[in-house]
Amino acid sequence: MRESPDEDKFRSAYEAHARALLGYALRRTATPADAADVVAETMLTAWRRLDVVPDEPETILWLYGVARNVIANGDRTHRRQRRLAEKLRSQLDDALEDPPVADPALAAQVTAAMKSLTPIEHEVLTLTATEQLSPAEIAVVLDMKQNTVRTHLHRARSKLRSALTTDASEKSTTRAKRTDDAGHERAERQSLRFHRTQGAQ
Amino acid sequence: MNDEELDRLVAQSMYSNTDVRSLDLRVGEADLMENVMNSKNLTIEGPQPVRPRPPRRRSRLFTGLVVGAAVAVGGGAAYAVVADRLSPDQAKLVEDVGATGEATCGISSETARLVASTTNDGRTIEYWTIDGADSHADFLFEKGAAFGGGGCGPMSRAVAYPQLPWANYTLRTDDGSGLGHFTFVGQAPDGTANVDIVTTNGTVNVEVTSLDGYFVALAELPVESSPPPSPPPFVDLLRIDAYAADGTLIGTGGLGG
């Protein structure tokens, strides 16, 4: 049966960008299952609002923007209730058994250092480093001016350099001070939920 | 360390797109795409009541009355429908809240104003305000559904909320998963692009799009809960930070109302 133009457009967008979107979500959610649900919710929004989805090459930027809002909303249980991504969740759980990064110690160090960034600095740097977007593209995703993006990026890199340097010099002290305090645990989980970039569960 | 080296370090600390592309997810992805395209007939759980409850620190927002969930369907046809948005049942609830409870607020549904809304999982929660010379009220309603509630106070909004930004929250539900689902409402000063609502259990970031700085958001926070009859879980709101679009901190406030 011949598909409608809408279905064609959606299938094209899905096939071209679903995997990049999954990567984006995996870097910003606490679990692979959450990431699958974010992809599902984002693509559902795209399907229902196909008339406003921009043509290429801006499609992926629009999808990133929607995914960002989906994650910010944080209503994980309702996303799960849709049951759109059950098979994808299951496959992801099986496929991502290995540690998500090659060097967990380094990843932990960088993740800790990135906590010194504001949420927007964190996002701008992540979009630059992992999604490999230009400031102009990030400006579209975040709906802000290019110059503002550049400012955030500059600040983010400066802070991260500083934090990594400090972390290296104080590593032994920091280690000694770590505790299993419940408050620390909560803070850690929350950080993963909203600003998470590393995949450690 | 130059910019490229730093970016590479950041990228190496996360899932890479190369790793993600190499995964065999064809079955799951195809299933998801079909599910999404068939979602016009998707059946999801029916609307649940939005149940405003007073936070641990009692708020003037809800001193007038804390309203239960269900508004009787079919009644209240005599009440005004505001701007074709507030349903007769919602208007009746507004009038009931204004006329009963610990204080009579003297509010009218005819002056209700929709100031912000949020959509989640196909459900839209609307934040309505009513303002008089010596009264104010705040209501949350689910659009198109007969569920909602709110409260009022016998003082002007400027008296009730002397400082911006402010935020308040209502406990919506707890599914026993260790996560609480909260509805946050509030108002931020002019020029605010987003706010960070800092609670004992985490920080919720909300974009502010209303011209007057009002916002409403659904959020999920980790909470420690016990089975009934224990009281529902609470979070304490520590502060709210308002940021401009360029990330500048505009102001800091606390629990409002």
For every residue of A63-92, DSSP letters joined together read HHHHHHHHHHH--HHHHHHT-TTHHHHHHH
The model's confidence at residue A188, banded by pLDDT at 50, 70 and 90, is: very low
pLDDT averaged over 10-residue windows placed end to end, chain B, 257 residues:
88 80 83 79 31 33 28 29 64 75 71 87 81 84 69 81 84 47 85 88 85 86 57 70 88 80
Is the predicted pLDDT of residue A170 greater than 80, yes or no? no
3-state SS assignment for residue B219? strand
Q: Rounded to a whole number, what is the distance in Å from the CA of B249 to chain A's nearest CA?
A: 11
The model's confidence at residue A24, banded by pLDDT at 50, 70 and 90, is: very high
Residue B106 domain-assigned (yes or no): yes
Whole-prediction pTM value?
0.48
Average pLDDT over residues A193-197: 19
Q: Rounded to a whole number, what is the distance in Å from the CA of B245 to chain A's nearest CA?
A: 7
Is the predicted pLDDT of residue A127 greater than 90, yes or no? yes
The model's confidence at residue A50, banded by pLDDT at 50, 70 and 90, is: confident
Most confident by average pLDDT, A2-11, A126-135, B194-203, B231-240: A126-135
Closest partner CB to A26 (pick from B8, B20, B121): B20
Q: Are the C-beta atoms of B147 and B50 separated by less than 8 Å?
A: yes
Residue B5 domain-assigned (yes or no): no
* Residue-range definition of the domain harbouring residue B116: 60-255
ipTM of the predicted assembly exceeds 0.90: no
Number of compact structural domains in chain B: 1
Residue B64 domain-assigned (yes or no): yes
Residues in chain B within 8 Å Cβ distance of A95: 23-25
Domains and their CATH numbers in chain A? 5-95 (1.10.1740), 104-195 (1.10.10.10)
d(CA B52, CA B216): 13
Q: What are the CA-CA distances from residue B214 to residues B71, B144, B198, B201 (Å)?
A: 25, 21, 17, 23
Give the model's pLDDT for residue B141. 82
Chain-chain contact of A20 with B37 (C-beta, under 8 angstroms): no
d(CA B231, CA B234): 9
Q: Tokens standing for A181? A: 């305090």
Q: Give me the amino acid identity at B129.
A: T
Residue B176 domain-assigned (yes or no): yes
Residue B26 domain-assigned (yes or no): no
Residue B6 domain-assigned (yes or no): no
Crossing angle of helices B3-12 and A119-129, in 10° steps, is 90
d(CA B257, CA B255): 7
Q: Which of B2, B20, B172, B208 to mutate to test the interface with A (most CBs of A within 10 A)?
A: B20
Give the model's pLDDT for residue A169. 58
d(CA B201, CA B131): 32
Residues with Cβ within 8 Å of A124's Cβ and at least 6 positions away in sequence, in order, are: A138, A142, A149, A152, A153, A156
Residue B80 domain-assigned (yes or no): yes
Q: What are the CA-CA distances from residue B122 to residues A81, B85, B118, B142 (Å)?
A: 12, 17, 10, 11
Residue of B nearest to A90 (CA): B28
Chain-chain contact of A40 with B247 (C-beta, under 8 angstroms): no
Most confident by average pLDDT, A52-56, A106-110, A116-120, A123-127: A123-127
Q: Which of residues 158-177 of B touch A (CB under 8 A)?
A: 175, 177
Closest partner CB to A161 (pick from B6, B196, B201): B6
Candidates B115, B110, B42; CA nearest to B81 is B110
